């Protein structure tokens, strides 16, 4: 044992795992003969935005599906540390991951209730808290104070998030009538109404124009800095990733090929090759080729 912890790398890795909000260890997901995720490990911290990037089919959404209980991993441990209580997500049903571990998620396609008002979308997200306060509708039916207080708190929280996403003046609009970028931010606000400790966002910047993209970045920084939670972000838009991520994990063909700061990952030869392919790497500008050769000892 003494020998094990005498190695500073082991001690550092152990400390990182202890401090992590989320620890993914040896995650593997097979679909028949296809290995979608192959022995992937990483950590995500509180007060950080961790981006998961990689070419199409790299396995990013499959990681989210394992974390949120849509898939049961073939192998692996997924530990969420919520204020000192450990939740082993790979053993939990999807609804328990949301309600007990407080992991929230948005999807690649928008999943709002389009015919409900913007405000209603945010109140409905607090359904579980309201059901508890209503003692499964009894207190609600008789208009008891306990239920009225919970209802008021739910509307106040909804209004707080409407202010944050600049939609306070559209609270009564049908959500489906909002511009696309507003719908994206409303989805994130709806997820925040469930008070997550980990917020998983699947391509939130897809289809946004530059102004909407800037508004999204501002919202995600606000969530990280003011609410202190961890954000896990799948994103293809590299300008968003480089601008707001604290930590980037790169997958390729289901394997982790890089893990570090945005600056380190951007200049990693393996990452450049994964995105451009072997052939195209030969056509890179000479200064990048020289940089790659230096880093790989002339094998780029």
Using CB under 6 A, list all residues that contact ligand ATP. Answer: 31, 34, 36, 54, 56-62
CB of 204 to ligand ATP, least distance (A): 13
Q: Which is nearer to ligand ATP, 53 or 175 (CB)?
A: 53
Q: Which is nearer to ligand ATP, 56 or 85 (CB)?
A: 56
Query: Is residue 197 within 8 Å of 170, Cβ to Cβ?
Result: no
Q: CA geometry: angle at 145 spanning 140 and 150, to 5°?
A: 70
CB of 235 to ligand ATP, least distance (A): 10
CB of 28 to ligand ATP, least distance (A): 12
Would you tell me how many other CB atoms lie within 10 Å of the CB of residue 56? Answer: 6
* Cα separation, 154 vs 159, whole angstroms: 9
Q: Which is nearer to ligand ATP, 58 or 154 (CB)?
A: 58
CB of 55 to ligand ATP, least distance (A): 7
| Cβ within 8 Å of residue 185, ≥6 positions away | 165, 166, 167, 215, 216, 219
Structure tokens of 148? 């009225």
Structure-token match 């289809």, residue found: 207
CB of 34 to ligand ATP, least distance (A): 6
Q: Which is nearer to ligand ATP, 140 or 254 (CB)?
A: 254
Q: Which is nearer to ligand ATP, 195 or 237 (CB)?
A: 237
CB of 70 to ligand ATP, least distance (A): 9
Q: Which is nearer to ligand ATP, 150 or 234 (CB)?
A: 234
Q: Which is nearer to ligand ATP, 36 or 248 (CB)?
A: 36
CB of 148 to ligand ATP, least distance (A): 44
Q: What are phi and psi of 227, to 5 degrees?
A: -105, -10
CB of 74 to ligand ATP, least distance (A): 12
Q: Which is nearer to ligand ATP, 203 or 215 (CB)?
A: 203
């Amino acid at each position: 044992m003494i020998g094990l912890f005498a190695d500073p790398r082991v001690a550092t890795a152990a400390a990182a795992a202890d401090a992590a909000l989320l620890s993914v260890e040896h995650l593997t997901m097979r679909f028949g003969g296809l290995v979608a995720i192959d022995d992937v490990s990483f950590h995500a911290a509180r007060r950080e935005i961790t981006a998961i990037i990689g070419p199409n089919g790299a396995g990013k959404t499959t990681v989210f599906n394992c974390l949120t209980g849509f898939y049961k991993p073939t192998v692996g441990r997924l530990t969420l540390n919520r204020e000192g209580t450990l939740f082993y997500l790979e053993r939990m049903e999807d609804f328990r991951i949301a309600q007990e571990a407080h992991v929230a998620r948005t999807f690649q396609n928008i999943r709002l209730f389009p015919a409900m008002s913007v405000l209603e979308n945010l109140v409905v997200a607090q359904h579980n808290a309201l059901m508890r306060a209503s003692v499964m509708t009894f207190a609600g039916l008789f208009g008891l104070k306990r239920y009225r207080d919970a209802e008021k708190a739910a509307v106040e929280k909804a209004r707080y998030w409407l202010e944050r996403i600049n939609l306070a003046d559209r609270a009564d609009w049908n959500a489906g009538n909002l511009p696309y970028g507003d719908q994206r931010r409303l989805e994130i606000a709806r997820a925040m109404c469930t008070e997550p400790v980990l917020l998983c966002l699947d391509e939130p910047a897809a289809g946004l124009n530059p102004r909407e993209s800037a508004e999204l970045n501002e919202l995600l920084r606000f969530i990280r800095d003011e609410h202190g939670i961890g954000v896990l972000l799948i994103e293809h838009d590299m300008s968003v990733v480089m601008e707001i991520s604290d930590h980037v994990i790169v997958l390729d063909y289901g394997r982790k090929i890089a893990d570090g700061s945005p600056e380190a990952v951007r200049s990693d030869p393996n990452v450049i090759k994964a995105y451009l392919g072997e052939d195209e790497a030969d056509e890179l500008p000479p200064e990048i080729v020289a940089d790659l050769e230096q880093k790989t000892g002339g094998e780029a």
